[in-house]
Structure 1
Amino acid sequence: MKVEKLTPHMSRTTVATGLLDAGVPIVDVQDMLGHASPATTRRYDRGRRKLDAHAAYRWASIVAGGS
C-alpha cells in the first residue's frame, strides 16, 4: 500500500470540507482559512465522498475517534 505524504494543503482541504459538510456557513469557513473571497473557499470543498478514501481524511477520522 502506498502512503501519501500529508501536506498543509491536504489538512486545509479536509478541514474546509468537514466544516462545510457539517453545515458551517461558508463565510465562517472563509474567515477561518483567511480567504478574501468565498469563491476561494469553495475550491477547498471537494465533497466528502472524494475524501473518504484519502489517507489524510482517514487519519483525521481516526484521531477524531471515528473508524
Structure 2
Amino acid sequence: NPSDKPQAYYLDLAKDFEIPTGDVAQFSLKAVYGSNKTVPVEYKNATVITLQPLETLVFEAVPVN
C-alpha cells in the first residue's frame, strides 16, 4: 500500500491466478514477508484485506486438494 492511509484490497486468487471457472481454488496462505490479521490462513473464497499505510505483504499460496 503506497498510500499514507489504510486501503482495502480485494483478494481473488482464482482471478489473479487465472483458474478456469468451476475449478476448485482453495489455498493455504503462508506469510513470507509481513503479517496481517485480515488475510485468511486458509483461502476458499475471494476476500477483502485491509492494508495499513505503506504496508507490504508477500504470501506463498499452496493449493489444497
| Shorter-chain TM band | under 0.3
Which has the higher relative contact order, 1 or 2, with Cα contacts under 8 A spaced 6 or more apart? 2
TM-score, length of structure 2 as denominator length: 0.24
Indicate the structure with greater strand content. Answer: 2
